[in-house]
Structure 1
Amino acid sequence: MALSDASPTTLRVFREVVERGTLTAAAAALGYTQSAVSRQVAALERAAGAVLLERRHDGVGPTAAGHVVLRRAAAVLDHLDAADRELAGLPADAGTVRLGWFASAGAALVPRAIAALRRTHPAVTVTTREGSTPALVRALRAGTLDLAVLASAPPFRPFDEGTPPLRVRVLAERPLRVAVPATDPLAAADAVSLADLRGRRWIAGRSGPDELLLGAWPGLDERPEVAHVARDWLAKLQLVATGAGITTVPASLAAVLPPGVKLLAVRDGPREQRRVVLARLPGPLAEPAVLLAEALAEAVG
């Protein structure tokens, strides 16, 4: 069996495994058993004559050969999906761009960019989804996203070790802030010190079972007390407004703060910067993706 004989089903299974990061998650998403997914991957590896997946500490990922197969499989599946739409009499996807984004980007940046694009290019359709950075990077590699807005922390390393390297455009680099209740004594000033933050109750976010996102100040020199964990930014900020705790936020959220919350700078300790970047696979971009990329860059400004 040659790779050219692989069925679309087998290619879809392989793409799903790469995007989900584990055989178990891919099986759940596809409605298959894990053994059925394993058999499909094994059949594709026999056809390719190479190992396509390797085990990693957090699941599985494509080998160098797997990246080659994935890139070609994504192109084949996109063409088949386009043919299905054409045969069904549906509009072509030429004006569609698929965007992924990390949680806080959905509070202001992404809606602002989409609104601007709808005004200037109403024929362009944007589909979006939120996800953790690892999940969005896998989706870029799998070809199910065209662009991804990601957050990057110092020392600003590459998001993965895949080939070819992702192409990254820095949209902004801004300091973090601490969100406190407007009634908190700290809110009387515009900045606080690390000493002011010691012994406080913190509200953190979570993207997975073992991954806490922004919550306690990164440079805090004590073990923080995390009183509340919430993924949703609105929930976190509303908890701050009620006095349930304080939290660390990107400066970009200043435009969407609920009443009763104030942002403060931290004037000492390590400078805590975060970048907002736009990532994609190398190669030419379709016109809708180019237009959305420019809208995102303008929306950050």
Structure 2
Amino acid sequence: MDLTDVSLVALRVFREVAERGTFTAAASALGYTQSAVSRQIATLERAAGGRLLERRRDGVELTASGRVVLRTAAGILDQLDATARELAGLPAAGGTVRLGWFPSAGAILLPRAISAVRRTHPAVTVTTREGSTPALVRALRAGTIDLALIASAPPFRPPDAESPALELETLAERSLRLAVPASHPLAAYDSVEVADLHGQRWIAGPASSSELWLGVWPGLDERPLIAHTARDWLAKLHLVAAGAGITTIPASLTPAVPPGIKILPVTGGPQELRRTLLARMPGPLPEPTAVVAAALRTTAAELT
């Protein structure tokens, strides 16, 4: 095994593949061809003397050796990036916190927490990126973000089985709700039964591995009628306000709901709880990262 002559390009490509989860996504993010990405990974694996990635039908997964190389690669690349920032006269990386967040966290929790950091610690720079929970977990392990706001649903399993286990802190746990047009027959009630959801027209996000349709009530015992699909929460809510259908909504988004919508609890089935978690790699937190974590913790408590 001899990694002394491995290029920085290969390390960056490897980190990108580990974060994105597929060669195709990494190639797109880097502006490379997929074959170029494959060649860089093959070169790195030859130097490491073994497989760093397990190829699967749905993407790639780090091997034990891959996790070791990733930790080293992330440290080297972060140091080089910090040096480049310093030479360019930009704020030191030590004062910059990279925060990832799942879509619904961006409506209220994220902007309020960032506003609090700007008021109390103006020297701390926060950069953010939106992503799915699996993507954010990969980014944490790849070292491209420092903290992640991720979502969890029952039975609240760990977000991945990699080692070391991520440090997870529950910031909030609230019930899933239903958003219906104010003119909808269900809006006449203070709550609805699961049985009342049969035959409804749904506005949902694209299907995912965690929930078949994000926006359809979980466990609905019929094939849902999906009238509209949208990734953006604001788009879904405005479609509801326009009378185009109904959707589920995290309770934390209630203050951001536009006019023309009624938010209802759903009874008659298992309680559908959703947790907002703050995730990070284990180990001591640098002071700027601890400042951002504290702001997220305080903001989440104020919203409950």
Normalised by the size of structure 1, how large is the TM-score?
A: 0.96
Tell me, in whole angstroms, the C-alpha distance in 2 between the residues paired with 1:102 and 1:147: 12
Q: Which residue identity lines up with residue 147 of structure 1 in the other structure? A: L
2:163 matched to 1:151? Answer: no
**Counterparts in 2 of 1:64 and 1:36: CA distance versus 1, 3 Å:** same
2:169 matched to 1:169? Answer: yes
Task: Return the offset for 1:261.
Answer: 0.7
Aligned position for 1:46: 46
Aligned position for 1:98: 98
Are 1:219 and 1:272, in contact at CA under 8 Å, matched by a contact in 2?
no
**Counterparts in 2 of 1:25 and 1:178: CA distance versus 1, 3 Å:** same
**Percent identical:** 70
Q: Tell me, what secondary structure is at the counterpart of 2:16? A: helix
Alignment of 1:114-193 (within 5 A): 114-193=114-193
Alignment of 1:135-284 (within 5 A): 135-206=135-206, 213-284=213-284
Task: Return the offset for 1:300.
Answer: 1.1
Are 1:219 and 1:270, in contact at CA under 8 Å, matched by a contact in 2?
no
Task: Return the offset for 1:251.
Answer: 0.5
Q: Tell me, what secondary structure is at the counterpart of 1:206? A: coil
Task: Return the offset for 1:12.
Answer: 0.4
**Counterparts in 2 of 1:180 and 1:221: CA distance versus 1, 3 Å:** same
Aligned position for 1:55: 55
**Counterparts in 2 of 1:96 and 1:251: CA distance versus 1, 3 Å:** same
Task: Return the offset for 1:210.
Answer: 11
Q: Deviations over 1:78-133 (max 9, x none)?
A: 00111112222322121100011111000111011111111111111110011111
Uncovered stretches (5+) of structure 2, i.e. residues with no partner: none
Are 2:186 and 2:192, in contact at CA under 8 Å, matched by a contact in 1?
yes
2:76 matched to 1:79? Answer: no
Are 1:21 and 1:59, in contact at CA under 8 Å, matched by a contact in 2?
yes
Q: Tell me, what secondary structure is at the counterpart of 2:265? A: strand
Q: Which residue identity lines up with residue 23 of structure 2 in the other structure? A: L
Tell me, in whole angstroms, the C-alpha distance in 1 between the residues paired with 2:72 and 2:87: 23
Task: Return the offset for 1:31.
Answer: 1.8
Tell me, in whole angstroms, the C-alpha distance in 2 between the residues paired with 1:210 and 1:239: 24
Uncovered stretches (5+) of structure 1, i.e. residues with no partner: none
Q: Which residue identity lines up with residue 101 of structure 2 in the other structure? A: W
Q: Deviations over 1:116-155 (max 9, x none)?
A: 1111111111100111111111111110010110110111
Task: Return the offset for 1:208.
Answer: 6.6
Q: Which residue identity lines up with residue 271 of structure 2 in the other structure? A: R
- The runs of 4+ residues in structure 1 deviating greater than 3 Å are 207-213
Tell me, in whole angstroms, the C-alpha distance in 1 between the residues paired with 2:246 and 2:169: 31
Q: Which residue identity lines up with residue 290 of structure 1 in the other structure? A: A
Q: Deviations over 1:251-280 (max 9, x none)?
A: 011111100111100111111111110111
Aligned position for 1:294: 294
Tell me, in whole angstroms, the C-alpha distance in 2 between the residues paired with 1:69 and 1:235: 41
